[in-house]
Amino acid sequence: MEATNAELDALGDDALMVLFAGGDHDAARILTDRLLPRAFRHAARVLGDRAEAEDIAQEAMLRLWRAAPDWNPHGPARPRTWLYRVTANLSVDRLRRRGRAVGLDEDLPSSAPSVESQMQDAGRMAALDAALARLPERQRQAVVLRHIEGLANPEIAEVLGIGVEAVESLTARGKRALTAALASKKEALGYG
C-alpha cells in the first residue's frame, strides 16, 4: 500500500531518498519541493544570475536523483547538506569558468565593478548580488548559507569542507564587508 501524501510529508529527506530509489514518484515531488528552492537560492545569490542558477540547481538535483540508489539513510551525510555542497562546488566551477571568481580569501580585485555602478538601474536583489559578488568566494558562500539559507555553522562547515571557527570568521567578515558596501546606498535601497 502506497503512503499518502501526508505520510510522505512527515518523512525525513533520507527516507524520501530511499523511497525515490524504490520508484516512488511522490517522493521525488516532495524532495523537489523541499530542496530545489534551496539549491536555486544558493546558486542565485552566489552567481548573481538567475539563468545560470537554474542550470546549476537543475544539475545539482539531477546528481541527487542519480545518488539515490546508493544513498545510505543511516550515513553521516544528509540530502540537504549534500545538495548544498554540490551546489557550492558547481557554482564555484561556473564562476571560475567565466573568470569572475574572486580568490578563496583574497582582497577585492581592482577591476571589480563598483556597487554604485551596478546599482544604477538595478533593484534591491541586484544590489545585494553586486555586494555579494565583491566578497571572496568562501565568504560569499558562507554568508549566503548562514544568513539567507539559515544553516547553522557546523552544517556550513560540512558544506564548505572547513572548520566551524573558519565559518564564524568568514560570516563575520562577510557581513561586515556587505554592510560597508551597501552602507552608502541605504536610501537607494529604500531604508532610512
Residues in the chain: 192
Cβ nearer to other proteins, comparing 25 with 97: 25
DSSP letter at 187? Answer: T
Q: Whole-number minimum distance, CB 134 to other proteins, in Å? A: 15
Give me the 16-55 binding string for other proteins, x by CB under 8 A, dash otherwise: ----x--x-xx-xx-xxx--xx--xx--xx-----x--xx
Q: CB–CB of 174/139 below 8 Å?
A: yes
The residue behind cell 555586494 is 131
Question: Can you list the alpha helix ranges (DSSP code H) found in 22-74?
Answer: 25-47, 50-67
Question: Is the CB of 57 or the CB of 90 nearer to other proteins?
Answer: 57
Task: Pick between residue 101 and residue 128 the one whose CB is nearest to other proteins.
Answer: 128
- H/E run at residue 156: helix 153-160
Q: How far apart are CA 84 and CA 2, in angstroms?
A: 30
Q: Is 62 in the site for other proteins (CB under 8 A)?
A: yes
Q: What is the footprint of other proteins within residues 117-156 (CB under 8 A)?
A: 124-125, 127-128, 147-150
User: What type of residue sits at position 128?
Assistant: L
Tell me the three cell numbers of residue 116. Answer: 554604485
Q: Which residues contact other proteins (rule: CB under 8 A)?
A: 5, 20, 23, 25-26, 28-29, 31-33, 36-37, 40-41, 44-45, 51, 54-55, 57-58, 61-62, 65-66, 68, 124-125, 127-128, 147-150, 175-176, 178-180, 182-186, 189, 191-192
